[in-house]
Amino acid sequence: MEQYNAGLDSTPGVEFYAGILCAGFVNAHSHIELSYLRGAIAGGGGYAAFAAGIAKVRDTFSEEERLRAIEEADRAMWQEGVDAVGDIVNSATSFATKATSPIHYKNFAEVFGLRVCNLEQQRELLKYPNTSLTPHSIYSVQDAPFKEVCNIDMNAPLSIHFMESPDEALLYAGEGSLHEWYKAVGFECNFLHYGSPAERIVACVPKDRNLMLVHNCFVTERDIEVVMDHFSAPVSWALCPRSNAYISGIEPRSVELLRAHNNINICIGTDSLSSNWSLSMIEELKMFRGIPLAELLQWATINGAKALGIDNHYGTIEVGKRSGIVNITGVDLENFTLTASAQAKRVL
C-alpha cells in the first residue's frame, strides 16, 4: 500500500486510510433482541432443529444478560459501519438501547401463530418509533390476520421470511417436514388453497405496498416472475447467507436467478446472533465469491436503504444524506475483491 500513500499521512489535516471507503452499511434483516443467544444453539441441523433449540434455551437467560447482549451487538454494528438496520421485534426488550443508539432502526413487529395469533400483543409495540407490523412468514400466520397485517400502515414496508427452506413450498403440496410437524401437533392451515408461497404473497399483499422478502434460498424463476409481475411498488430480496450456512449448511441457490433480473433489488441481512457468528456485513459479503465487489457494496448500502424506504437519508455518500463512511481493508485492489482477512471499520 506504500505507493498509494505518497506521504499523505504526514500532511496536516489529511488522514490516510488503506483499502477503500464506502457509504455506511444497511443491515436489511436482523433480530437484535435475540443477541443473547449467541453460540447457544447448535447449527447444521436444519430449521426445525434450530427452532426447537431456541425454545429449549430461551428461558435460561436473565433480563440483564439479554439487555447487555443487545447493547454489545448495537455497538459492534456501529463500529463496523452499520448506519441502519431492518430489525424484527417480538418484544420491547431492544427499544431502550435503540432510543440512544446512533444507528437508525426500522422495526418490524412480527405477527405469527397458527393457533393463537399474537396480533393484538404486537400492536402494543406500535407505540415505539419507526415500528410497523409484518407477518413472520407465509407458513406461520393464518389467512385473515395475514391479510389484515398486509393492509395496516401502508406506508411502511413489510419484511416477510420467504423460502428459507424447501419445506415452505412443500407444505402447500401436503408434503415435507413442516407439513409433518403441523400434522403431528394438529395445526390446520387455512391458506394452502393459494397453491404456493409466491401465489399467497401476490393474492394477499397489495401491489402498491413496499415488500422485502427475506432469505429466498429456494425461490424459483417462476416465484420471482409471479412476484415481480404483481407489484407496482418496489420488492426487495434480502439474502442472509451466513445464517443459512449456520442453520442448514446451505447457500442461497437463487443468487444467480435474482441477479439475472436487472430490475431486482438485492440486499443483505445478518439475521440474528442466534444463527450467526457475528452481525458483520463484511463477513456476509465474503460469502458471495465471484460477484464483483462494486455490486456487493450496492447490496450492502443503497439497496438495503431502498428496501427499508430510507434511501433519501442513507445508502450513498451525498450532500444532504446522513450516511456514515466505512473503511474496508483487506481488499485485493487488482481484482477488486474481498480477501479472507477483509475488515470494515467506521471512519465517520
Interface with Zn ion (CB under 5 A): 271
User: What whole-number distance in Å separates Cα of residue 239 and Cα of residue 264?
Assistant: 13
Report the residue number, 94 or 327, with the smaller CB distance to Zn ion.
94
Take residue 90 and report the three cell numbers written for it: 417480538
Three-class DSSP category at 6: coil
Q: List for the chain the helix, strand, coil content (%; round to 5).
A: 40, 20, 40
Least distance to Zn ion, CB of residue 110, Å: 9
Side-chain half-sphere CA neighbours of 299 within 13 A = 28
Least distance to Zn ion, CB of residue 31, Å: 6
Least distance to Zn ion, CB of residue 272, Å: 6
User: What whole-number distance in Å separates Cα of residue 210 and Cα of residue 155?
Assistant: 8
Report the residue number, 223 or 271, with the smaller CB distance to Zn ion.
271
Report the residue number, 23 or 25, with the smaller CB distance to Zn ion.
25
Residue nearest to Zn ion (CB): 271
**Which residues, including other chains, have CB under 8 Å from residue 12's CB and lie 6 or more apart?**
none
Confirm if 93 and 67 have CB atoms less than 8 A apart.
yes
User: 266 forms bridges with which residues in the sheet?
Assistant: 237
Least distance to Zn ion, CB of residue 192, Å: 23
User: 141 forms bridges with which residues in the sheet?
Assistant: 113
**Which residues, including other chains, have CB under 8 Å from residue 283's CB and lie 6 or more apart?**
242, 277
Report the residue number, 199 or 271, with the smaller CB distance to Zn ion.
271
Report the residue number, 54 or 189, with the smaller CB distance to Zn ion.
54
Confirm if 317 and 323 have CB atoms less than 8 A apart.
yes
Least distance to Zn ion, CB of residue 161, Å: 6
Report the residue number, 80 or 271, with the smaller CB distance to Zn ion.
271
DSSP 278-312: ---HHHHHHTSTTS-HHHHHHHHTHHHHHHTT-TT
User: What whole-number distance in Å separates Cα of residue 249 and Cα of residue 229?
Assistant: 32
User: 10 forms bridges with which residues in the sheet?
Assistant: none
Least distance to Zn ion, CB of residue 127, Å: 23
Buried b / exposed e over 85-120, threshold 16 CB at 10 Å, is bbbbbbeebbbebbeebebbbbbbbbbbbbeebbbe
Report the residue number, 168 or 271, with the smaller CB distance to Zn ion.
271
What DSSP state is assigned to residue 32?
G
